Amino acid sequence: MSQSNHKKDIHRLKRIEGQVKGIIKMVENQKYCLDILTQIKAVKSALKSLETQILENHLDNCVKEAFESGSKKDRKEKMDEVINLIKKSGRP
């Protein structure tokens, strides 16, 4: 993944971190439960969006490079990684 992508990901993670800190304050201040749950859903959505973006970058860079390299071993390794990730994502 490129340096630019890492910077964007870090920026997004810092925003998510700020959201989580906001939720902590809401809980500490005993805010209305549905307001807290709404913020939790927003964090989950932001994490899912980041996860999707990182996976797309991985496929577009790392996996693509493995296929372009001509190495069957590299292709198999990258495909196995993605398949295992997909299998794990179905578990709680």
Q: Which residue has the higher pLDDT, 69 or 90?
A: 69
- Burial 16-51, CB ≥16 within 10 A → b, else e: beebeeebeebeeeeeeeeebeebeeebeebeeebe
CA 52 to chain centroid, in Å, comes to 6
Reported pTM: 0.81
pLDDT in tens, 33-76: 999 999 999 999 999 999 999 999 999 998 999 999 988 999 99
Residue 1: count of CB within 10 angstroms of its CB: 13
